[in-house]
A and B are shown apart, each in its own frame.
Chain A
Amino acid sequence: MSQLQARFFTENKRYAVDDVPFSIPAASEVQDLSHVINTLLQAKNESHKQVEFDFLVRGQFLRTSLSSHMETEGISTEEVVEIEYVERIAAPEPEECMMHDDWISSVDADTEWILTGSYDKTARIWSTEGKAVMTVAGHKDVVKDVAWVKRDGLTSLLLTASLDQTVLLWEWNSERNKVKARHCCRGHTGSVDTIATDPTGSKFCSGSWDKMLKIWSAVPTEEADEVEEPPDRPRKKQKTEQLGLTRTPLMTLSGHSEAVSSVLWCDSEEVCSASWDHTIRIWDTESGTMKTTLTGSKVFNCISYSPLCRRLASGSTDRHIRLWDPRTKDGSLVLLSLTSHTGWVTAVKWAPSHEHQLVSGSLDNLVKLWDTRSCKAPLYDLAAHEDKVFCVDWTESGLMLSGGADNKLYTYRYSACQTDAGA
């Protein structure tokens, strides 16, 4: 059996071993290498407990035997191989299952509360423990997207976007458990499919089926904006229907030729939108111009941006998750494709605290946890849903959420190991 010269290293000081080359069998797999490291650590420290490790060779997770991995990656076996090892990521543990009355279209969670939008025309607020706190009803049609705006103590501002072409800005007091519609954002002429609040919480952006992106102020005021109404419309009738004060957009960004399916803020001045016209566009909200266009070949359903790795992840109808670099000027550069889903990828979300991990949901009823260092196969498949998955989320507190057409919102506790945080 052939031997390889390997040098092990890790970012985590707790599990550091001597920086000397070891001769290890070429056919050894993750289990064997893990055993080697554990033995080394035990030799150094008597109190060391067995830890499962994962190994990275030149930034790629080792999934097969070392020799076959190096062969496929084209790494020479003559030199000393640098092998990085990290503590193995534990499987997410399912926690709660929250039943809804209808399909769940969207979810947005922060550390305390979970906000879900549903096809029963309402949005709901849940505690992270799975307790239904509040039902936000007011839309005349299906709620397509929800978002938290900001929280000042007990008062929270939240947004719901609906098929009835409006976005409602609500004020919710968690102590009194009262919700009040503050503003009704009118202006879209198609169903509002996506909304995103900017990092400061003062503005939000909405994307709609009418191919427009609109930027609105998220600050509640006591004044209603003037709306130019079509002359033949009876004004009286409209007033009675209205919930909250009318608000008009600050800015309209048009350029997409098809429906906008997903929108997000890259930073406080940049908005990124994905559309059915096979493009991802990045807009400057100061000037209201388009900065970059990333062109794909399929309809984009969702995008997510990670400030940690500065990558965009997109889910599209051809079952692939693609990673993009939004800073490239010429666009259409796919960095990586993650392929394992068998249906449309409807939701994708980067880990808030990990630069390599992301979670995706698909129409094939599966939620998958990915590590970009292992693009061939996901880390874990979360097969809890019995029907299409429409939305996923990942909070900073390590809670993963997914909701779908089986009316259930599942939460999973993901114990992001502290040791791995800096990796």
Chain B
Amino acid sequence: MRRKEEQRENMSKAKEKSVRKRSGEEEQEEEIFSFSSKQPAEEEEEGGEGGGRRGGRRICPTARTACSPAWRILGVTVRRRRRRREEEEEGDVKSGDEEETAQQGAPSVLKEQEEEGGEKEDEYENDTSDEEDIRNTVGNVPMEWYRDFPHLGYDLDGRKIYKPIRSQDELDHFLDKMENPDYWRTVHDKQTGSDITLSEEQVALVRRLQSGRFGDVDFNEYQPTVEYFSRDVMLHPVTNRPADKRSFIPSLIEKEKVSKLVHAIKMGWIKPRRVEDDSRGRYYDLWASEDSSILARHKMHLPAPKIPLPGHQESYNPPPEFLFNEEERALWEQQDAADRKLPFVPRKFSSLRSVPAFPRFVHERFERCLDLYLCPRQRKMRVNVDPEDLIPKLPKPRDLQPFPTTQSLVYRGHSGLIRSISVSPTGQWLASGSDDGSVRFWEVCSSRCLKTVQVGGAVRSVTWNPNTAVCLLAVALDSRVLLLSPSLADRQVVSASELLLSDKEGAEPVQGAESLVTWSEAEGEELNEGIRLKIQHPKAVHQVAWHAKGDYLASVMPDHSSHLQVLIHQVSRRRSQNPFRRNKGLVQRVSFHPLRPYFFVATQRSVRIYNLLKQEMTKKLQANAKWISSMAVHPGGDHVICGSYDCRLSWFDLDLSTKPYRMLRHHKKAVRGVAYHRFYPLFASASDDGSVIVCHGTVYNDLLQNPLIVPVKVLRGHAVSQDLGVLDVTFHPSQPWVFSSGADATIRLYT
């Protein structure tokens, strides 16, 4: 923007200069500036000097002058002046030197201008080539073409016009600027290359044009107009011509046209516009066709609302009791329009003829129309459905007894969050593994901690051996799996478990797994604490699971990148093997089928079931969950429940589908643990919201009948600490009791 303004200023300055210079030479020509267009100038030329000038001023059409740009005016006038001067020069010959010097200055100024402006200006913008400059016959070409030549054009005789000798350098310019009082009104003439100083009148003219006014000082642009043709009948009309005859005779051409159209219509070429059938009218009575005798029998019909008949209030002369007193009137005025009993104030007039027009007439009509428009035409029957009826019939929880209802015992003693609990198969003992690095054994009935084994590491998982003939506990911590013999059973059972763990001659390590897993026997202090065997794994073990027979043990080491995620150990032979060759996803949980040789592997999103005998995958269950956290297999083996971190619990019926039979979304936060009861139809889920939800889940032997799942109880009690609530849940093997362990370092028993 700024650059453009600068440029414009420069240009106008240059013009000013050139104008000034001319005026300095020929002061007698100041009136000429009022001419702006070519035509009057030509006329003027034709008309001769003195008269032309005068005439030009006289007939200058205001409109044309007003719309012509200042630049154009200047260009034309300057050229005109030049021409005139040359005419004069023809008369009295001036010295050629002066002329030359003036002309030679132009290119350098132009160059300067160009450099300053930066942009190349359109060379044809001011093309008025029809009007030739006589001093310089090069025509209207950009003078910069002559930049490298000593001359700047040719005169009429074809002689070179030389550039004025200019020895002014920047310093001279500056001095000139400083010292010359007329510097500001000096402009450069490109055609002649000379500097021209503008006169006062010329400067004033430029100013006027710049400010958008007319060049002529005396011109009044707001002259009163003279109306020649007006509505007034004039005594002497402008024209007094009589009306033409043709205005009385019908037009032949039109007649021809009409006959053509008529013919076309007759021939059927043109279809006349169909007249809209207005018989019914655009507005009609909606209720006109209603036969009340028929419709009255129709139960759903609603008649149109009728206008109530006018009462005494509407009367022009109502009885005085209908007229408002002061109080009623004040109340009426205060009330909202919708709340008023009457839409108007009853008034009394002495006679009917003094009744004025009703001011609310239009309003009242509008409301009536609105009433009719919005009124219901038919009674709509709505189906009355009690939402309760839509809920599937479920038995009442109290008919599904027994299930745990209240918190009975709290097992306190751990100092860290308890990640895993397990009840011994006899139901007498409870083992818990905690982040405080200890495994504790509790007496279930008294909440007494009878034994504490320091294992030296956060315990991830504890599991009792399900075989009642032995008393063994598997503990997973860090990258180890420990086998503990807590000797909390009969001597025979204890000795049987010792025998199982004792070193066998035949227990030869198998190749392959040997490099991964090291079996070692505990010694010294650990032996006294009950630790018997240590199985060192290559990675952190998250879960251990026993086979129902109690000889095989599976351990889980979740790993994204390796196929070594699950290991199955045989305790009696001290062998380990990796059952899977490929990584099918991050393994979360594993479980053995309670009866048949199947193996359940829960990865993040699905549960795979492998046949251990055939060594193939038999089924893949899609959990519809983002991340499975826990899994439990029904003691019958045909149902699986999975808890997931996205608060869901999915029940799979293996005979039904690979999709969840039922999704339960009762928890508010991530589900951490799920468990089935061994023979009561119960299952429980533990969540980070600090609650354990016990559900009734009857499984029928009849394959046609789907399991009945009823949530029966929400058990609370655990405190939520660090966003962790209940971490594990397990049922008592023989009683309908549920144990839960939480992040608040307690185990709770609900009965």
Contacts and interface: CB of A to CB of B under 8 A. Distances in A.
Given A189-B492, A230-B492, A276 B751 contact: no
Interface in A199-248: 209-210, 230, 232-233
A388 B492 contact: no
B403 to A, nearest CB: 12
Interface of A: 103, 105, 119, 142, 163, 165, 189-191, 209-210, 230, 232-233, 258-259, 261, 276-277, 297-299, 301, 317-319, 343-344, 363, 388, 390, 405
Chain A CB within 10 Å, residue with most, of B401, B446, B450, B495: B446
A299 B490 contact: no
B735 interface: yes
A297 B448 contact: no
A318 B408 CA distance: 9
Contacts of B402: 297-298
A276 B734 contact: yes
A301 B444 CA distance: 13
B490 A344 contact: no
Contacts of A142: 448, 450
Contact of A363 (B401, B409, B489, B491): B409
B446 A390 contact: yes
Nearest to B401: A297
Interface string B397-431: 00001100010110000000000000000111000
Nearest to A301: B445
Minimum-distance CB pairs A-B, first 6: A189-B490, A317-B751, A344-B408, A209-B428, A258-B734, A299-B735
Given A190-B428, A297-B402, A276 B735 contact: yes
B426 A209 contact: yes
Contacts of A191: 428
Contacts of A319: 406
Contacts of A301: 445
Taking chain B's interface residues, is the majority helix, strand, or loop, or is none over half, making it mixed?
loop
A233 B447 contact: no
Secondary structure at the A interface, as helix, strand, loop or mixed, is: loop
Contacts of B490: 165, 189-190, 210
B751 A318 contact: yes
A48 to B, nearest CB: 49
B497 to A, nearest CB: 14
Given A232-B495, A276-B735, A344-B408, A388 B428 contact: no
B495 A103 contact: no
16 contacts: A105-B446, A163-B450, A165-B491, A189-B490, A190-B426, A190-B489, A209-B426, A210-B490, A259-B427, A276-B734, A301-B445, A317-B408, A319-B406, A344-B751, A363-B409, A388-B446
Contacts of B428: 190-191, 209, 259
A297 B403 CA distance: 11
Contacts of B495: 230, 232-233
A318 B401 CA distance: 12
Interface in B423-461: 426-428, 445-448, 450
Contacts of B401: 297
Nearest to A387: B447
Nearest to A186: B491
Nearest to B405: A318
A301 B409 CA distance: 14
Contacts of A258: 427, 734
A394 to B, nearest CB: 22
A228 B751 CA distance: 40
A299 B732 CA distance: 13
Instruction: Indicate the member of B401, B402, B491 with the most A CB atoms within 10 Å.
Output: B491
Contacts of A343: 408
A318 B406 CA distance: 9
Contacts of B493: 189
Interface in B706-751: 734-735, 751
A97 to B, nearest CB: 21
A103 B409 contact: no
A247 B495 CA distance: 22
Contacts of A163: 450
Interface string B477-503: 000000000000111110100000000
Nearest to A259: B428
A258 B491 CA distance: 20
Contacts of B427: 258-259, 276
Contacts of B408: 317, 343-344, 363
A405 B449 CA distance: 12
B448 A103 contact: yes
Nearest to A342: B406
Interface string B649-675: 000000000000000000000000000
A191 B445 CA distance: 12
A388 B443 CA distance: 14
Contacts of B489: 190
Nearest to B490: A189
Nearest to B450: A142
Given A276-B735, A343-B408, A344-B409, 6 more contacts: A142-B448, A165-B490, A190-B490, A209-B426, A233-B495, A259-B427
A142 B445 CA distance: 14
Contacts of A388: 446-447
Contacts of A261: 445
A223 B402 CA distance: 50
Contacts of B426: 190, 209
A9 to B, nearest CB: 43
A282 B484 CA distance: 40
A232 B490 CA distance: 15
A190 B493 CA distance: 10
Which has the most chain A C-beta neighbours within 10 Å: B402, B450, B492, B735?
A: B735
Contacts of B406: 319
B468 to A, nearest CB: 11
A317 B444 CA distance: 13
A277 B448 CA distance: 22
